[in-house]
A and B are shown apart, each in its own frame.
Chain A
Amino acid sequence: MIEMIDVWKSYPNGTDALKEINIKIDKSEFVYVVGPSGAGKSTFIKLMYREERPSKGQIFLNGYNVEKMKEKQIPKLRRSIGVVFQDYKLLPRLNVYENIAFAMEVVEAPRKLIRTRVMEMLDLVKLKHKLRALPSELSGGEQQRVSIARALVNNPQTIIADEPTGNLDPETSWEIMKIFEEINLRGTTVVMATHNREIVNTLRKRVVAIEAGRIARDQVRGDYGYED
């Protein structure tokens, strides 16, 4: 479960990235976050795993009070979430296999389990043949798939994805969406910021539109609603 209560985010230069955000996302929900570039989608996403901090307001996620929690607890919060970062955030000197395995090493999983799970994930994102490649040797789409595999590998309660199909061709995008829908059906909450109108309009889910830092629209089984 994710809940934000009267959350504001302003930057030191005085601009308000987010204003008066109130939202509740239940467990097992699937939510698209849409809106024009620069409207605050990424900031909204980053508040959830505490990469950004709100200027005001409260955030609850998977039972953690994100703003009031002790520093020692932060890793636990982050482990309960799988994040697909917009800029992938792969460790540059680890190969594909090691990057995905890292998320499991962090939770001290046994090596054998790590091996089987990572191979499963590589299979899922169709990168088995590149397991020894470094991120710098991959295309944008391939790096994005590694980031997705890493987000999924620990079976997190919540998946938060910032433009997970931004660099993928339509075919791969749909494969990734199938994976998201599959894990969502198994009970994982999915929050996904996207610009992909085709996906939003085809795979109908709840749509939250953020415009100029405010929630402008919140529809069950909504549509993309913007002309690109």
Chain B
Amino acid sequence: MKIRTLYRHVREGLRNIGRNGWMSFASVSSVAITLFILGVFVLLAMNVNHTAQVVESQVEVRVFLKKETTPEQIEKLKNQIEDLPQVKSVTLITKEEGIAKWKEDFGEKSYLFEGLEGEENPLSDELVVKPQNPRETALVAERVNSFPHIESINYGKETVEKLFSITTVVRNVGLGFIVALAFTAMFLISNTIKMTIVARRREIQIMKLVGATNAFIRWPFFIEGLLLGVLGAIVPVALLVVGYQYLIRFVKVDLNLYFLELLPLDPLAWQMAGLLMGIGAFIGVWGSIVSVRRFLKI
């Protein structure tokens, strides 16, 4: 194809958007609305996933050691546990540190713990084990349990199991929603674009009878579809980026929900913008190319 022909196709594609007026408007609107809904769900799902990750990462296995364990034995045990492939980190909290922490937590009433230092300390030394993958917590606990000098192990078995079953459901539901929405969006948008092309089937036939190749006819439609898709994506991207910024501020400042941590605008917003633009462009092109093909047989 010659450069001037490519230029001609781009010009025709642009003009077709104008010539189609309302049909173009309808296509852009349907792209914008469906992608907006999709974008809201993507943001929601990403944040739910993020929150689930934060909660999951707080899971830990607490290993209480027998009173008579010597510091050397503790050190050896700590190294052994660290060597397990499923273990991310092991922190030692000695009974002295344990008491100090309690005192700190109780503040004014810390006198309650007076005299419990040294020989009288009722606490045990403790190893806090963070699993590499929170989902392997039970396995880590089981492995650790086979080592010596251990009095007891606690990782909130039932709570952890419940937590994981909830986060799994939330993630799957979110993903399912997004996939379903993406398909609905594709169907809706390509249908609208199809309508604008069916209205032009006679034109396509005339072009063929005058000697245009299929590629020559397809190119302006390709450009047109691409532009309709991208134009349709710009609106929801702008709305979502601005809206999300406000939401972050609202949650932080007005609601003051310190435990709810939203993902920061950067890079989430750009990822989402890229995703929506990509889907918009793909659907626009796909919808128009597929629809044109039906009328090229003559």
Contacts and interface: CB of A to CB of B under 8 A. Distances in A.
Contacts of B206: 89-91
Contact of A91 (B2, B8, B207): B207
B59 to A, nearest CB: 64
Interface string B188-226: 000000000000001100111111110010000000000
Given A92-B203, A111-B4, A78 B209 contact: yes
Contacts of B213: 72, 75, 106
A102 interface: yes
A83 interface: yes
A106 B210 contact: yes
Contacts of A150: 210
A105 B210 CA distance: 11
Interface in A54-78: 72, 75-76, 78
Contacts of A75: 208, 211-213, 216
Interface string A90-116: 111100000000110111101100000
B5 A102 contact: no
Contacts of B249: none
A51 B19 contact: no
B4 A103 contact: no
Interface string A123-134: 000000000000
A75 B217 CA distance: 12
A107 B202 CA distance: 21
Contacts of B211: 75-76, 78-79, 103, 106-107
A93 B298 contact: no
Contacts of A103: 210-211
B4 A106 contact: no
Contact of A51 (B1, B2, B8, B298): B298
Q: Which one of A90, A92, A105, A150 has the greatest number of beta carbons of chain B within 10 Å?
A: A105
Nearest to A90: B206
B8 A105 contact: yes
B8 A102 contact: no
Given A51-B298, A108-B2, A108-B4, A102 B207 contact: yes
A83 B8 contact: no
A131 B19 CA distance: 18
B186 to A, nearest CB: 28
Nearest to B18: A93
Contacts of A92: 202-203
Given A75-B212, A75-B213, A110 B4 contact: yes
A78 B5 contact: no
A228 to B, nearest CB: 30
A222 to B, nearest CB: 29
A49 interface: yes
A75 B296 CA distance: 12
Contacts of A102: 207, 210, 212
Nearest to B7: A111
Contacts of A90: 206
21 contacts: A49-B209, A51-B209, A51-B298, A75-B208, A75-B211, A75-B213, A76-B211, A78-B209, A83-B209, A91-B206, A92-B202, A93-B19, A93-B203, A102-B207, A102-B210, A103-B210, A105-B5, A105-B8, A106-B213, A106-B216, A111-B4
- The 10 lowest CB-CB distance pairs between A and B, nearest first, are A78-B211, A79-B211, A75-B213, A106-B212, A89-B206, A93-B19, A75-B211, A108-B5, A108-B2, A106-B211
Interface of B: 1-2, 4-5, 8, 19, 202-203, 206-213, 216, 298
Interface of A: 49, 51, 72, 75-76, 78-79, 83, 85, 89-93, 102-103, 105-108, 110-111, 150
